[in-house]
């Protein structure tokens, strides 16, 4: 079997003798090595041959540097942008992997490995031979460089579609003949191209030979005359006389239109507001990094539409962020339909992609209807045009296309998009997830000049992501405003007061739509049907789905059609016979209404894989349901919305818990010190406590050495105590430490407030870095500059009751800022425990109810204290304080 496959591969290699002779490639040597039983030598030789090919490509494209000094890994990396074929890139990765295994990793190389290496070299040679220019193939020195580039593009295009180049003749420096063929079942299909820069030159060439070259009798042949600067309208008759009437005469820029109709692909964007309308209301800034210091800085602040148009005309990856309704989709749709932006334009709404559907399958499905033929190759064509450097790809709502809104989820979708994002074309993405802009780790992905940390690289590898294939971006932030374009548009349409909250505007639109349709009663069913479906990560519905969920009364006259649905004004087409909400915010509002009851939260928590929760759902939930409040410091048994913005979760607390109103104070801890044993231990110690632990505060670290002695500090939080101290004190007081879940649930309530008092940032209510600096601290670099150098010398903890507005829904005070608080929760390392709430030296944005850290249990810090809780079993204990 190996001999037979080797014989076939030898025959295929012989088809590339021309490029082998030109570059001095001995294609027979790896075959002989494999035949002689030395597959590791065959793999090494394939690596050497591939290096020669890539060095020639390097020189051809004028890549900076000397390729002679580069190894295969570097050659593949630097040549990647100039190779438009995904097949070739995959082949190069396989050759590199096999060569590395053979020479560095110590693996045994088998005959199968050798055969695979040769097979992949054939794939590379097919591209170089069929799509290569004169500089790669040798000869044809008289060809005009521009014409050579056109030939390379068209040849690569047809190789991508499964053709091979059968013939090519240079008829003049400006005119070239190309013939491609491929197998289609039992027959061969041919495509014949005459490419010329000038119709006059083409006529002269054809007239001199009387068209003899083109008078062939090939079956199933499609003939094109491709002209750069003339559409053939003035000279069509003359050309048809020489070529026959079966030729199609097209401009070079329009040839791709014969394969795919991109206007059809973009038809769904018809009616997009004009660029002038969008740009008159939206401004944006570009966040980048200083090339020397790496410090984030705003480099531009201008008209958002003009900014994106300029970036789209270059080779750029751009991430546009902004809150829901801020106009991201309007900008991106206008960009995609503008013919002045790019030669080829694509628009994909990732919010409509099924979670288990790959990006390649999604693109293929959306582009197939626009293909003139070869629908199965829609994605390959798309990828080729993207890699050509002449396309714009708009990826709207990338945050809605992730499997989970977490660092790992975004890394996975970036890896899925890597083939597109690593191309030379412009890719514009939009997201309303602030995590993408605010996470320090992800920001390293967004800036090509920022180095990746070892921790980030390890995380990527752990999630099966090659760091080399994760993209970099410019980050464009739409300016924050009190009213978004969507809110303005709906407010004007519905004639509402401009001061109404976003949730109320959407609710009014839903109510009016159903009232005008004569079915207002359907609104009460929407949260438990469509709202619950959103939490199950389902945002696209067939008309049958809507009929099943809402009943036949949801369709006028019994017609199962989109325009007869009572929700028609709130829906948009999402595919054949499927619809989605015209803006995701409507769907998120219904999901928030479903979560507004304990029963809804409990049911949603049982969703397989966990409910799909977005930051906007959480924000709407805070508006829709203010949540229960009390002053008894009791955390009730309920289902609570917890977690950071990028990974919100629903988690149950099964039994009520009584919290201390304030953190443990110095005065309280002093009473504990008074009963300690001589060695600083106590009868209440944790059974796993290390033997050398003393519960006396770590006075060497205290900012004030008399902190636990001077009565003026009695009402300050007990700090510089480690986890073992906190555990022992709690047991001494007949209590325990809260779990991290209990702590967060008590701080934010069941609806997931950002701060104990609500969602509005209020620096005056928190002892944090912003207070000591006197203004908001936005970035880590600003914290270093404005806080760490001066304010840090003044900042410290304050009395636990100094800020009464820092109060949770249950009357628990001082939960965020001032001092981190120990919990009983440990993660992977039993020697560490979770701390919650942030401290005086953190910026306001880092002292939210979801703020958590991990600290070693032996550690003691001026910024870490604790509070205690009691389980409620029978009766009720009065809250402390």
Comparing 7-16, 209-218, 301-310, 635-644, the range with the smallest average pLDDT is: 209-218
Q: Which CATH architecture has domain 2-136?
A: Up-down Bundle (1.20)
CATH 1.20.120 domain locations along the chain: 2-136
Q: How far is CA 782 from CA 123, 775, 842, in A?
A: 52, 11, 12
Q: What does the pLDDT read at residue 236? A: 57
The rounded distance, in Å, linking the Cα atoms of 53 and 65 is: 16
Contact (Cβ atoms closer than 8 angstroms) between residue 547 and residue 560: yes
Confidence class for position 820, pLDDT limits 50, 70, 90: very high
Question: How many beta carbons lie within 10 A of that of residue 505, not counting itself?
Answer: 25
Write out the H or E segment, with its range, that includes residue 431: strand 426-431
Residue 443 has pLDDT above 90, yes or no: no
Residue 601, pLDDT score: 96
Q: What pLDDT score was predicted for residue 287?
A: 66
pLDDT value at position 450?
40
Is 237 or 371 the better-scoring residue by pLDDT? Answer: 371
CATH class of 657-677+713-871: alpha beta
Which tokens is 786 given? 């404005």
DSSP per residue, 291-304: TTT--EEEEEEEEH
CB under 8 A, 24+ apart: contacts of 14-18: 15/129, 16/122, 16/125, 16/126, 16/128, 16/129, 18/129, 18/137, 18/138
Q: Check whether 384 has a pLDDT greater than 60.
A: yes
Mean pLDDT lowest among 9-18, 274-283, 412-421:
274-283
Q: Tell me, what's the pLDDT at 152?
A: 86
pLDDT at 242 (0 to 100) = 61
Supply 601's token pair.
Answer: 């939260």
Q: What is the pLDDT of residues 700-727, one digit of tens each?
A: 889 898 999 999 999 999 999 999 999 9
Percent of the chain residues topping a pLDDT of 70: 85
Q: Tell me, what's the pLDDT at 657?
A: 97
Q: What pLDDT sits at residue 273?
A: 43
For residues 504 and 508, what is the distance between their CA atoms, to the nearest angstrom? Answer: 6
Task: Tell me the C-alpha distance between 497 and 487, whole Å.
Answer: 11
Residue 453 confidence (pLDDT): 45
User: Is residue 445 very low, low, confident or very high in pLDDT (cuts 50, 70, 90)?
Assistant: very low
pLDDT at 186: 76
User: Of all helices (H) and strands (E), which one includes residue 641?
Assistant: strand 638-642
Q: Which two tokens stand for residue 447?
A: 């800036």
Q: Which is nearest to 567 in space by CA: 585, 543, 588, 589?
A: 543
Task: Say what the pLDDT of residue 4 is.
Answer: 80
d(CA 407, CA 446): 13
More confident position, 83 or 361 = 361
Tokens matching residue 422: 């690593």
3-state class of 170 per DSSP?
strand
Three-state DSSP at 60 gives helix
pTM (2 d.p.): 0.73
Strand 869-871 and strand 657-659: the pairing is: antiparallel
pLDDT digits (tens, 9 = 90+) for 614-627: 888 999 999 988 77
CA neighbor of 810 nearest in space, from 625, 598, 631: 631
Query: What is the average per-residue pLDDT within 728-750?
Result: 97
For tokens 């030395």, name the residue: 38
Q: Tens digits of per-residue pLDDT, 321-373? A: 887 778 888 889 889 988 888 889 999 999 888 877 889 999 999 999 999 87
Q: Across residues 808-832, what is the average pLDDT?
A: 95
All CATH 3.40.50 domain ranges of the chain, comma separated, are 262-478
Alpha helices (runs of H) in 531-583, residue ranges in sequence order:
532-535, 543-550
State the Cα–Cα distance between residues 79 and 56, nearest whole angstrom.
Answer: 10
Q: Is the pLDDT of residue 202 over 70?
A: yes
Average pLDDT, the chain: 84
DSSP string spanning 455-471? HHHHHHHHTT--GGGS-
Out of 106-110, 378-382, 613-617, 716-720, pick the least confident: 106-110
CA 62 to mean position of chain CA atoms? 32
Structure confidence at residue 466 as a pLDDT band (50, 70, 90):
low
Cα distance between residue 308 and residue 311, in whole Å: 5
Kindly indicate the confidence band of residue 462, based on its pLDDT and cuts at 50, 70 and 90.
low
Count of all residues that appear for the chain in the document: 881
- Quick check: 803 and 766 in contact, CB under 8 A? yes
At the top level of CATH, the class of 262-478 is: alpha beta
Which carries the bigger pLDDT value, residue 243 or residue 27? 27
Q: Among 258-272, 748-762, 804-818, whose mean pLDDT is lowest?
A: 258-272
Boundaries of CATH 3.90.1580.10 in the chain? Answer: 657-677+713-871
Distance separating alpha carbons of residues 180 and 160, to the nearest angstrom: 12
Find, among 758, 849, 764, 841, the residue nearest to 804 by Cα: 764
* Residue 280 token pair: 């008159």
Report residue 450 as tokens.
Answer: 């920022």
Q: What DSSP assignment string belongs to 803-855? A: -TTSB-TTS-B--SSSSEEE-S---S-TTEEEEES--TTS-GGGSSTT-EEEE
Proportion of the chain in helix, strand, coil states, percent, rounded to 5: 45, 15, 40
């Amino acid at each position: 079997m190996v001999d037979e496959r080797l014989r076939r591969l030898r025959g295929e290699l012989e088809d590339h003798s021309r490029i082998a002779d030109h570059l001095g490639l001995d294609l027979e040597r790896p075959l002989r090595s494999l035949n002689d039983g030395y597959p590791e030598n065959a793999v090494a030789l394939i690596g050497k041959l591939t290096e020669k090919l890539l060095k020639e490509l390097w020189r051809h494209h004028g890549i900076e540097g000397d390729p002679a000094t580069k190894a295969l890994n570097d050659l593949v990396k630097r040549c990647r942008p100039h190779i438009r074929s995904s097949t070739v890139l995959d082949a190069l990765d396989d050759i590199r992997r096999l060569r590395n295994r053979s020479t560095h990793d110590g693996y045994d190389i088998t005959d199968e490995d050798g055969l695979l290496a040769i097979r992949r070299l054939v794939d590379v040679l097919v591209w170089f031979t069929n799509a290569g220019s004169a500089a790669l193939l040798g000869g044809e020195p008289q060809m005009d460089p521009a014409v050579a580039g056109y030939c390379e593009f068209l040849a690569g295009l047809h190789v991508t579609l499964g053709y091979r180049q059968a013939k090519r003749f240079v008829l003049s420096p400006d005119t070239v003949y190309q013939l491609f063929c491929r197998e289609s079942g039992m027959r061969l299909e041919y495509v014949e191209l005459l490419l010329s820069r000038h119709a006059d030159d083409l006529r002269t060439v054809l007239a001199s030979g009387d068209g003899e070259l083109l008078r062939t009798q090939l079956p199933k042949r499609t003939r094109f005359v491709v002209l750069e600067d003339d559409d053939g309208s003035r000279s069509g008759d003359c050309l048809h006389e020489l070529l026959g009437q079966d030729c199609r005469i097209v401009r070079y820029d329009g040839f791709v239109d014969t394969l795919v109709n991109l206007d059809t692909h973009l038809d769904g964007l018809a009616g997009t507001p004009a660029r002038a309308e969008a740009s008159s209301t939206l401004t944006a800034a570009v966040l980048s990094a200083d090339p020397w210091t790496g410090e984030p800085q705003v480099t531009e602040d201008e008209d958002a539409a003009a900014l994106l148009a300029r970036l789209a005309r270059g080779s750029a990856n751009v991430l546009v962020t902004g809150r829901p309704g801020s106009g991201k989709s309007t900008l991106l749709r206008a960009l995609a339909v503008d013919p002045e932006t790019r030669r080829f334009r694509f628009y994909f709404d990732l919010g409509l992609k099924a979670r288990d559907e790959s990006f390649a399958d999604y693109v293929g499905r959306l582009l197939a209807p626009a293909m003139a033929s070869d629908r199965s190759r829609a994605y390959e064509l798309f990828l080729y045009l993207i890699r050509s450097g002449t396309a714009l790809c708009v990826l709207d709502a990338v945050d809605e296309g992730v499997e989970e809104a977490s660092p790992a989820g975004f890394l996975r979708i970036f890896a899925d998009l890597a083939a597109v994002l690593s191309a030379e074309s412009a890719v514009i993405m939009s997201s309303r997830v602030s995590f993408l802009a605010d996470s320090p780790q992800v920001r390293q992905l967004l800036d090509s000049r920022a180095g990746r940390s070892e921790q980030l690289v390890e995380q990527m590898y752990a999630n099966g992501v090659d760091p080399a294939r994760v993209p970099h971006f410019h980050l464009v932030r739409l300016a924050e405003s009190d009213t978004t374009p969507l809110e303005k548009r709906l407010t004007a349409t519905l004639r509402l007061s401009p001061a109404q909250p976003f949730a109320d505007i959407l609710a009014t639109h839903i109510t009016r739509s159903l009232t005008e349709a004569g079915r207002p009663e359907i609104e009460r069913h929407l949260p438990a049907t469509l709202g619950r479906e959103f939490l199950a990560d389902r945002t696209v519905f067939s008309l049958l789905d809507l009929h099943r969920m809402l009943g036949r009364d949801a369709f006028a006259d019994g017609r199962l059609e989109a325009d007869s649905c009572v929700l028609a004004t709130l829906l948009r087409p999402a595919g054949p016979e499927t619809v989605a909400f015209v803006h995701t915010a409507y769907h998120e509002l219904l999901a928030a209404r479903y979560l507004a009851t304990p029963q809804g939260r409990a049911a949603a928590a049982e969703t397989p894989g966990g409910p799909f929760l977005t930051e906007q759902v959480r924000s709407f939930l805070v508006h829709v349901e203010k949540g229960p409040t009390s002053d008894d410091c009791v955390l009730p048994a309920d289902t609570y919305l917890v977690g950071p913005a990028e990974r919100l979760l629903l988690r149950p607390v099964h039994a009520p818990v009584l919290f201390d109103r304030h953190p443990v104070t110095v005065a309280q801890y002093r009473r504990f010190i008074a009963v300690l044993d001589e060695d600083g231990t106590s009868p209440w110690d944790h059974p796993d406590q290390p033997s050398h632990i003393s519960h006396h505060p770590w006075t060497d670290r205290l900012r004030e050495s008399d902190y636990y002695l001077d009565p003026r500090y009695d009402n300050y939080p007990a700090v510089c105590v480690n986890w073992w101290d906190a555990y022992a004190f709690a047991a001494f007081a007949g209590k325990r430490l809260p779990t991290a879940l209990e702590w967060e649930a008590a701080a934010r309530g069941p609806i997931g407030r950002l701060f104990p008092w609500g969602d509005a940032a209020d620096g005056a209510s928190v002892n944090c870095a912003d207070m000591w600096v006197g203004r908001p601290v936005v970035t880590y670099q600003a914290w270093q500059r404005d806080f760490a150098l001066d304010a840090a010398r003044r900042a410290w903890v304050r009395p636990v009751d100094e800020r009464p507005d820092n109060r949770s829904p249950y009357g628990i005070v001082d939960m965020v800022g001032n001092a981190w608080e120990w919990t009983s929760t440990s993660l992977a390392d039993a020697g560490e425990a979770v701390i919650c709430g942030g401290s005086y030296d953190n910026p306001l944005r880092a002292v939210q109810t979801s703020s958590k850290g991990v600290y070693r249990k032996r550690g003691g810090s001026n910024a870490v204290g604790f509070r205690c809780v009691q389980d409620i079993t029978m009766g009720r204990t009065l809250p402390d304080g």
